[in-house]
Each structure stands twice: as structure tokens, then as C-alpha cells.
């Protein structure tokens, strides 16, 4: 399977809807990672789980079903990076392995993710991953966080840790991908990302790992850090893209894919907030174009005005570019033709705009990465997908 893009997405309604609306030709080049949110008291209080005899297991089954529906038939990665290493379902199974098996039970191909630090520190985590049974040779993905990659400054120690995972799982490098997860890089220069990733690539590149991916997010956790004033606009440089372009050109012999966190970062909050600003995050060449409104109530009228501002900008690519662009256009003009009369279009709430922004982002990244790969002529990124 040819891969250009490994987006790390919140496993939430908006991202699922955007993925489901992504055309087949774009989906074919994606290997997404869905980050499963942990179970909270609020989750347990939902109607679906408050009387469930096994609420965590039921929740993980539901999330597996949503992933399978949103990305039907296509391979995925799932992870529980925001859970503890020992969080389990009521069955006693580790949350991440339970989710993996729930997907495989649905016939969905999965690339299991192993966190280097979690594998080092938790025997329960190691044993659970070692217990995953596959027919034939599976493909795994080793997830390195920022502290793991800093360890590459001590090559012997770093290689020892990586070898510990390979030996612990009984996996050869050719059956393992490497996810270089820089997470929030909003305050980090692109030069630093490149320098850190280079150390990892120089140490692991010659060992025949199946693929690499560089992942980061330049979108700050809150909109006021991106655009200072209400009712204004600005741009945020996507430093993860600048770093990937440089590394892809410098190491054309390595299978290096690109990854990011979509339009909202790994530290963004899903907690209800009446003071959340209206905003549209519109991905453009090497940047995000952001229009910021003011603190909003759900479904308020300012989103029509913000949509009109994006649609009138030089950045807008038209309603046919993506599902998200179509929905933005409808909010900008406020109406659409129904069967007999004009139909007023509601402005949309937070979840809807995550869907629209993510949809445009996925379509833009497809175009951007296909063009970049064509220009660079580097080694293609091919991932062997295990059977379900």
C-alpha cells in the first residue's frame, strides 16, 4: 500500500465525518492514526454507558465501530496515548489491545502502535502487545515521542531501547514503521525539528525499517495564540511541513511519509466553553489561514460572516475542492436551493466546523503531498498491511 500521509486524528464525531466524506482516491494514500480519548466521568454519564455492565468495553467497541465506518475497508492505526499504560476494559484486557481486537473482529486491517516509553516502563503493556496474535508477519508502528527522540543524542542508549522493542515483540525492522511524533511544535523552530529527526533517521535509516513518518502540529492549543485579536485574521506557518520537505529532499533513499494533527493540536480541549471563539482554520501552502471571530454560542450567526470572509479571500479554492469547501460556501451564501424553495443554511456548531476544516485539510494535504512527491522523486513509502 502506497502511503503519503499519516494524520493523527482525534477519534471524535467531526473527524469521523470528515474522513467519511474523503474521496476514494485520497483515502488510498492515507494511513491515519485515531487517538482514542480516555473514558471520563462525563463519558460514563452518557445514556449509552450509564447502565452498561461494562462501560469501558462498550465505549471501546463503539469507537472501533466508528473508526470502521468512517474509514471502511482501509487500514488504520489506533492508540490510547492519553490513557495510562495499565488502563483496561472490564474484561481485564488493556484498552489499546481491546480496541485493536475490536477492529479486527470487524474485519478491519490494523497496524498496531507501540509506544517506546510505554514499552520501556510497563510490563503489563509489554505483555499485552506481545499477546496480539497475527496470521503471518504483521506490520507494527513504533511511536517515538519528543523525549525518546532526544535520547538519540546518546546513540548506544537509543539503539538499545529500540532493539528492546524489536526483540520483545519478535519483529524485524522490515516489519516495523517509525512514527516520529513531535506533537505540539508551535513554539519550536523548524531547524530544531529537522536536527532532531535527522539524528533518528541517521541511526535507524540504515537498518531497513519499513517506513518512517514525521508528525507534528504548529496549530497552538488556543486560537488567541494564533490570531491575537477578535474579528481578525492571520496565518500560522506549518513548521512540520517545512521540516518534512527538507528531510524528504535530504534523505530521498528513505521511505519518509508526512503526518500532522489535522486542524487542531494534540493539546486542544474538548471541554464545553461558552467563551470559545468562532473560527475557521483553512489550510494553504505551508500555512494555516485563520479567521477568528468572537466568543460564540452554539450555531450563532458569526460563522456565516467568517465563512464569507474565507470565501472572499485569495486562498479559497471553491466549493468543488472538498466536502468542507462546499459546506463553507453554503454558509457564506447562507442559502441553498431545495426541492422547491430556497433553504436557509444554519451556520453550524463547533463539531460541524471541525468536520469542514478537517475535510478541506485532508483534501489540501493530498494535493500538496502528491505534488511534493512528484517534484522530489524520493523513495516511495510502501506499507505492508496485515490481514485482519
Q: So what's the pLDDT on residue 296?
A: 72
pTM for this prediction: 0.95
C-alpha closest to that of 162 among 198, 117, 131: 117
**pLDDT tens-digit readout, 138-164:** 899 999 999 999 999 999 999 999 999
**pLDDT tens-digit readout, 274-288:** 668 899 999 999 999
**pLDDT tens-digit readout, 94-121:** 999 999 999 999 999 999 999 999 999 9
Q: So what's the pLDDT on residue 110?
A: 95
Out of 162-166, 224-228, 270-274, least confident range: 270-274
**pLDDT tens-digit readout, 41-65:** 999 999 999 999 999 999 999 999 9
| 214 confidence band (pLDDT: 50, 70, 90) | very high
Residue percentage of the chain with pLDDT more than 70:
95
Amino acid at each position: 500500500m502506497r502511503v503519503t500521509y499519516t494524520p493523527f486524528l482525534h477519534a471524535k464525531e467531526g473527524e469521523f465525518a470528515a474522513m467519511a466524506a474523503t474521496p476514494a482516491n485520497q483515502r488510498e494514500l492515507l494511513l491515519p492514526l485515531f487517538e482514542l480519548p480516555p473514558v471520563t466521568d462525563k463519558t460514563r454519564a452518557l445514556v449509552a454507558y450509564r447502565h452498561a455492565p461494562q462501560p469501558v468495553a462498550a465505549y471501546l467497541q463503539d469507537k472501533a465501530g466508528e473508526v470502521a465506518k468512517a474509514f471502511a475497508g482501509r487500514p488504520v492505526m489506533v492508540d490510547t496515548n492519553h490513557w495510562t499504560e495499565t488502563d483496561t476494559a472490564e474484561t481485564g484486557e488493556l484498552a489499546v489491545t481491546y480496541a485493536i481486537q475490536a477492529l479486527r473482529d470487524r474485519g478491519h486491517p490494523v497496524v498496531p502502535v507501540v509506544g517506546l516509553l510505554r514499552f520501556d516502563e510497563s510490563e503489563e503493556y509489554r505483555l499485552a502487545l506481545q499477546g496480539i496474535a497475527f496470521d503471518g508477519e504483521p506490520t507494527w508502528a513504533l511511536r517515538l515521542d519528543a523525549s525518546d527522540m532526544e535520547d538519540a543524542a546518546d546513540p548506544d542508549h537509543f539503539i538499545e531501547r529500540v532493539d528492546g522493542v524489536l526483540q520483545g515483540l519478535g519483529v524485524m525492522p522490515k516489519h516495523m514503521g517509525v512514527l516520529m511524533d513531535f506533537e505540539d511544535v508551535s513554539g519550536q523552530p523548524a531547524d530544531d525539528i529537522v536536527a532532531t529527526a535527522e539524528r533518528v533517521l541517521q541511526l535507524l535509516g540504515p537498518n531497513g525499517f519499513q517506513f518512517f513518518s514525521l508528525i507534528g502540529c504548529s496549530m497552538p492549543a488556543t486560537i488567541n495564540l494564533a490570531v491575537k485579536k477578535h474579528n481578525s485574521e492571520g496565518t500560522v506557518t506549518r513548521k512540520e511541513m517545512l521540516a518534512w520537505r527538507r528531510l524528504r529532499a535530504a534523505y530521498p533513499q528513505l521511505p519518509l511519509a508526512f503526518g500532522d494533527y489535522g486542524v487542531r493540536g494534540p493539546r486542544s480541549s474538548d471541554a464545553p466553553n461558552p467563551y470559545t471563539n468562532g473560527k475557521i482554520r483553512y489550510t494553504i501552502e505551508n500555512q494555516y489561514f485563520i479567521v477568528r471571530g468572537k466568543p460564540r454560542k452554539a450555531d450563532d450567526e458569526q460563522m456565516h460572516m467568517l465563512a464569507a470572509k474565507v470565501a472572499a479571500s485569495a486562498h479559497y479554492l471553491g466549493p468543488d475542492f472538498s466536502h468542507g469547501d462546499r459546506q463553507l460556501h453554503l454558509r457564506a451564501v447562507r442559502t441553498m436551493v431545495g426541492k422547491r424553495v430556497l433553504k436557509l443554511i444554519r451556520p453550524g456548531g463547533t463539531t460541524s466546523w471541525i468536520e469542514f476544516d478537517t475535510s478541506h485539510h485532508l483534501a489540501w494535504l493530498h494535493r500538496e503531498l502528491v505534488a511534493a512527491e512528484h517534484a522530489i522523486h524520493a523513495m516511495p513509502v510502501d506499507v505492508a498491511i496485515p490481514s485482519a
